[in-house]
Amino acid sequence: MPHRILILILSLFACTSFAEQTPSTAATADKPAVEKKSETPTVDYGGVTSKTNYLICKNKDVVRTVRVLKKDEGGCKTMYTKEGVDKVVSESTYSAGCWKILGNIKINLEKASWKCKDISDSRVSSSEE
């Protein structure tokens, strides 16, 4: 009886594997099966995307900011403002490196009960009297 169950499981697995092959990846008599390349995995850094350049994070009355700035010579740097003092916390030749740091800071702050908001698209305006 255990052999029949094992054979049944193996046959189901084989059918499933065969059914998953598409015509472009399936093997034929004149060409071997082509291995489908996997897509680059998407990594979530606390919801930070390439459009996120400025975060404001609050915990009660305390405010901190994190932002990504482009450097004149290329690349970027991540700035972290705490108690009114700006500090460069990372520099990278690739923008993705700065967004990763910004995202990691956001994740850490939110784990500590901070509320962060993306203000990248916010504009400062003044009214003239």
Q: Is the pTM of this model over 0.85?
A: no
> What is the greatest pairwise CA distance in the chain?
90
Average pLDDT score over residue span 80-107 = 93
The answer to whether residues 48 and 102 touch, using CB atoms and an 8 Å cutoff, is yes
Domain parsing of the chain, residue ranges: 54-118
Distance CA 33, CA 4 (A): 30
Which of 52, 37, 66, 73 is closest to 120 using CA atoms? 52
- In tens, the pLDDT along 46-88 reads 666 666 789 999 999 999 999 999 998 889 999 999 999 999 9
Query: Residue 91: pLDDT band by 50, 70, 90 thresholds?
Result: very high
Task: Please state, in angstroms and as integers, the Cα–Cα distance from residue 8 to each residue in 4, 21, 27, 41, 47, following that order.
Answer: 6, 21, 24, 34, 44
